[in-house]
Amino acid sequence: MTRYMVLLPTNEAFWAESTPEEKAAGYEVHSKFAKLLADRGHKVTGGAELHHSSKAKTLRKTSDGIAITDGPYAETVEHVTGFYIVETDDVEDMLECCKVLTELETALEIREIVENEEMS
């Protein structure tokens, strides 16, 4: 099976400003997505919701060495707020399943994972 990463670039304000009820409704969309994948023979092998980008650390190579700074790499409203790793032999069907997430997310990025035996 081929592995794909489903990245969720989202405006972080949605989660930060959501009521508990709105968050519960959002989690329900993600549960529906995971169930649909399983029902159709795809396998979720990993994934997580990520903390707000304000808690990120960025390492950057500089002329003086490596600088470690607080905050995200990019100055933008949208950041990756979560991800799934999905194993499948049918990427087209997996993409159809991903449409469920558009009930909540405005964009998704799906990328095939490079399998590198040396890194395992």
Instruction: Write down all domains in the chain, each with its CATH number in brackets.
Output: 2-115 (3.30.70.1060)
What confidence tens digit (pLDDT) does each residue in 64-87 have?
999 888 876 666 656 788 999 999
What's the CA gap between 53 and 49, in Å, rounded? 12
Whole-model pTM? 0.83
Distances (CA, A) of 119 to 6, 37, 85, 115, 116: 21, 27, 17, 8, 6
- On whether the CB atoms of residues 43 and 1 are closer than 8 A, the answer is yes
Per the prediction, the chain carries an average pLDDT of: 89
pLDDT of residue 52: 84
Distances (CA, A) of 114 to 44, 97, 117: 17, 22, 10
What's the CA gap between 88 and 36, in Å, rounded? 13
Instruction: Say if residue 62's pLDDT is above 80.
Output: yes
pLDDT of residue 15: 81
